[in-house]
């Protein structure tokens, strides 16, 4: 077994721990798991942030973890057309491999997912970096609607199959 895949390797232990935590504590806003044949590559499906032109959209991306994880940050690439990030291009945001000096080993895959969701609605030059694009709001909304049926070529599932629609529970009280 190669050193990078040795079960005693600290990166492998950490990745397995994070995968277990995400599986045991699911979130309605995202789902994520490592690939079966490569635990250093994760696929994640994320809902567009509420109150933005991405609301209603469901976006699929890759998280590539380095062999030195968690001491070095992940790389993130969007796979679903979205109007905010280039496709199949490593994104330059504060918690990715472009900014190793800002990464904290206490952070993890969940931190990166939540952070990415926060970067979707940012506008202006301050929010633009490698991998960013600026599409008109109308195009982002159109892409959000189309994103639900987008199929990942590796997972062979639509985004909605990866992250089913939220259930809304209504509670009625007797008065």
d(CA 16, CA 2): 17
Task: Give bridge partners of residue 40 from the DSSP assignment.
Answer: none
Helices (H), the chain: 10-24, 109-119, 137-147, 159-162
Residue found under tokens 């940050």:
73
Residue found under tokens 């699929």:
60
In the numeric block, which tokens belong to residue 157? 């599932």
Q: Active-site residue 44, yes or no?
A: no
Identified catalytic residue from 92, 152, 155, 162:
92
DSSP state of 64: E
Residue found under tokens 């030195």:
68
* H or E stretch at 38: strand 38-47
Question: What is the set of active-site residues?
Answer: 92
């Amino acid at each position: 077994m190669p050193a990078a895949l040795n079960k005693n390797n600290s990166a492998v232990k950490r990745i397995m721990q994070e995968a277990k935590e995400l599986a045991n504590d699911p979130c309605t806003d995202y789902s994520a798991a490592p690939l079966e044949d490569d635990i250093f590559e994760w696929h994640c499906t994320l809902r567009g942030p509420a109150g933005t032109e991405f609301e209603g959209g469901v976006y699929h991306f890759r998280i590539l973890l380095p062999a030195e994880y968690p001491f070095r940050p992940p790389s993130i690439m969007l796979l679903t057309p979205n109007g905010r990030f280039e496709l199949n291009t490593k994104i330059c945001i504060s918690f990715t491999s472009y900014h190793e000096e800002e990464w904290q080993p206490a952070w993890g895959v969940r931190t990166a997912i939540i952070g990415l969701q926060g970067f979707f609605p940012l506008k202006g030059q301050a929010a633009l970096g490698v991998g960013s694009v600026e599409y008109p709001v109308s195009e982002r909304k159109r892409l959000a609607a189309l994103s639900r049926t987008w199929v990942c070529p590796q997972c062979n599932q639509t985004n909605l199959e990866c992250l089913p629609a939220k259930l809304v529970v209504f509670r009625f009280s007797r008065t």
